[in-house]
C-alpha cells in the first residue's frame, strides 16, 4: 500500500468540479430546491461549503446566515462578512442569544459547572477539553472543565458523568437552535440547508445530532480536514479565514478543536486515519510520520474508538421490524 507524506494531496480542481456537479444535481433532481442556505461561522469548513455552493449554483442562489450567541467570538461575525463580500452572496445576522437565554441554556450549563466548582460565577469564562497527549499515552477521552475566574485564575477539574452530560446537553441546544433557524430561512425560500461537516467531524462524531448534523446535503463529509484546507486555497477563501485556528466557538473561553475533541493535530490525525483505513502497515505509517509503532497503535485505537462510540450520532431513527 502506497503511503507517503503527500498521500492526502488532492487535485483540488477535479474534487471541486465533482462536488459542484453533485450539489447541482442533488438540489435540482433529488430535492427540487433551487438554492442553498449555509450557516457561516467564519471558520474554514463553512467558508469552503459556501464557496462551493456559489461555484455550483451562482451567488444569487446562496444565502449565508450568521447565528451568533453570547459565547461566540466577535471574529466569527467579521470573518463571515469578509467571506460573503468576497464571494458576493447575501447574508443575514440572526442572533440565537435570546433563544438560548429563553431555553435556559446558560443557566443549565452554569448549574452543571457549579456541581464541580461550587463558587463558579456566570461571569467566569469556561470551556471543556479532552487530553491532547493521545500519542504519548493510551487514555480514555474524558473531559475536563476549565474555568477562568474574574481575577484571571485558571482552575480545572475532570468532569464526572452527570455534570459532563448536562454541560454537553445544554451546549448542544445552541447547534439545534441554529439548525431550526437555518431551516426557517431555507423553507421560506424553498431552498435546502447545506451541511458544513468534513470527514473528521462526521465520522469521529464531532457534531450535534439534529444540530449541525441536521442538514439536507453534506458536500464535504468525505474530505479530511487537511483536504478542506486545500480546497479553501483553490477556491480562494480569504487568507484570514484559512489562517484562523479552528475552534468550537461554543464556549466562553476559546477552545481549539484539537484540545476540545481530536487530541492531535489535523495533519497527523488525518494521515494516521488514512493509514488505518487503508491497512497501511503500522511500521510504514510510523516511518513516514516520524512516530513510533506504539504511537501509531495508540492513534489507531483512539480514532477507531471514536468512530465506534459515535455510531449512534450517524444513525437514522430505528424502526421496529414487523
Partner 1 sequence: MDKDTLKKEIRDFIVDTFLFGEGADSFTDSDSFMQNGIVDSTGILEVTGFIEEKFDFSIENEEMTPINLDSVNNLVAFISKKVNA
Output the nine-digit C-alpha cell for 281: 502497515
SS3 label, residue 217: strand
**Nearer to partner 1 among residue 41 and residue 171 (C-beta):** 171
Minimum distance, C-beta of residue 313 to partner 1, in the bound complex (Å): 11
Taking the least distance from each CB to partner 1, the nearer of 60 and 139 is 139
β-strands 192-193, 154-158 pairing = unpaired
Cβ atoms of residues 319 and 302 within 8 Å = no
- How far is Cα 23 from Cα 195, in angstroms, rounded to an integer? 12
User: Residues 50, 54, 60, CA angle at the centre, nearest 5°?
Assistant: 115
Nearer to partner 1, 1 or 165 (CB): 165
Instruction: State the nearest-atom distance from the C-beta of 234 to partner 1, in Å.
Output: 36
Burial string for 163-179 (b: 16+ CB within 10 Å, else e) reads bbebbeebbbbbbbbbb
Please list the residues that pair with 64 across neighbouring strands: 38, 91
Smallest gap from Cβ 125 to partner 1, in A, equals 21
**Cβ closer to partner 1: 6 or 312?**
312
Q: At closest approach, how far in Å is the CB of 308 from partner 1? A: 7
* CA nearest neighbour of 111 among 103, 98, 120, 99: 120
**To the nearest whole angstrom, how small is the minimum distance from the Cβ of residue 46 to partner 1?**
27
Alpha-carbon distance of 116 to 163, in angstroms, equals 8
Secondary-structure percent of the chain, ordered helix, strand, coil, rounded to 5:
50, 10, 40
Which of 158, 222 has the CB closer to partner 1? 158
> C-beta of 166: minimal distance to partner 1 in Å?
12
**Nearest to partner 1 of 4, 157 (CB atom):** 157
Which C-beta is closer to partner 1: that of 22 or that of 304?
A: 304
To the nearest whole angstrom, how small is the minimum distance from the Cβ of residue 237 to partner 1? 34
Q: Of 87 and 143, which CB lies nearer to partner 1 in the complex structure?
A: 143
Min dist. Cβ of residue 62 to partner 1 (A): 38
Closest approach, Cβ 207 to partner 1, in A, equals 16
Name the site residues for partner 1 (rule: CB under 8 A). 131, 137-142, 144, 158-162, 164-165, 305-306, 308-309
Cα 100 to Cα 80: distance, rounded to the nearest angstrom? 21
Smaller CB distance to partner 1: residue 53 or 255? 255
- H or E element, residue 33: none
Write the CB contacts of 78 (distance below 8 Å, at least 6 apart in sequence): 42
Quick check: 45 and 257 in contact, CB under 8 A? no
CA–CA dist 108, 114 (Å, integer) = 10
d(CA 193, CA 69): 20
List alpha helices for 257-292, DSSP H.
Answer: 257, 266-277, 282-289
Amino acid at each position: 500500500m502506497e503511503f507517503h507524506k503527500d498521500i492526502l494531496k488532492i487535485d483540488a480542481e477535479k474534487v471541486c468540479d465533482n462536488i459542484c456537479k453533485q450539489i447541482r444535481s442533488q438540489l435540482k433532481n433529488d430535492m427540487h430546491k433551487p438554492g442553498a442556505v449555509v450557516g457561516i461561522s467564519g471558520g474554514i469548513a463553512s467558508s469552503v461549503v459556501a464557496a462551493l455552493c456559489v461555484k455550483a449554483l451562482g451567488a444569487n442562489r446562496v444565502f449565508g446566515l450568521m447565528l451568533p450567541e453570547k459565547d461566540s467570538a466577535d471574529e466569527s461575525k467579521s470573518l463571515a462578512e469578509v467571506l460573503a463580500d468576497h464571494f458576493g452572496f447575501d447574508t443575514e445576522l440572526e442572533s440565537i442569544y435570546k433563544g438560548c437565554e429563553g431555553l435556559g441554556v446558560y443557566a443549565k450549563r452554569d448549574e452543571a459547572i457549579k456541581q464541580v466548582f461550587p463558587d463558579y460565577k456566570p461571569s467566569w469564562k469556561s470551556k471543556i477539553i479532552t487530553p491532547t497527549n493521545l500519542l504519548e499515552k493510551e487514555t480514555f477521552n474524558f473531559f475536563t472543565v476549565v474555568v477562568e475566574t474574574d481575577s484571571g485564575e485558571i482552575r480545572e477539574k475532570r468532569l464526572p458523568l452527570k455534570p459532563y452530560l448536562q454541560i454537553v446537553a445544554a451546549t448542544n441546544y445552541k447547534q439545534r437552535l441554529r439548525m431550526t433557524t437555518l431551516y426557517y430561512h431555507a423553507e421560506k425560500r424553498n431552498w435546502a440547508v447545506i451541511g458544513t461537516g468534513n470527514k473528521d467531524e462526521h465520522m469521529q462524531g464531532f457534531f450535534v445530532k439534529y444540530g449541525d448534523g441536521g442538514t439536507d446535503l453534506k458536500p464535504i463529509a468525505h474530505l479530511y480536514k487537511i483536504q478542506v484546507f486545500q480546497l479553501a486555497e483553490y477556491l480562494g477563501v480569504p487568507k484570514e479565514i484559512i489562517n484562523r485556528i479552528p475552534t468550537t466557538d461554543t464556549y466562553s473561553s476559546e477552545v481549539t478543536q484539537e484540545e476540545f475533541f481530536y487530541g492531535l493535530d489535523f495533519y497527523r490525525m488525518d494521515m494516521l486515519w488514512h493509514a488505518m483505513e487503508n491497512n497501511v502497515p503500522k511500521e510504514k505509517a510510523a516511518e513516514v510520520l516520524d512516530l513510533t509503532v506504539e504511537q501509531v497503535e495508540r492513534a489507531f485505537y483512539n480514532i477507531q474508538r471514536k468512530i465506534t462510540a459515535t455510531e449512534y450520532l450517524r444513525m437514522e431513527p430505528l424502526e421496529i421490524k414487523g
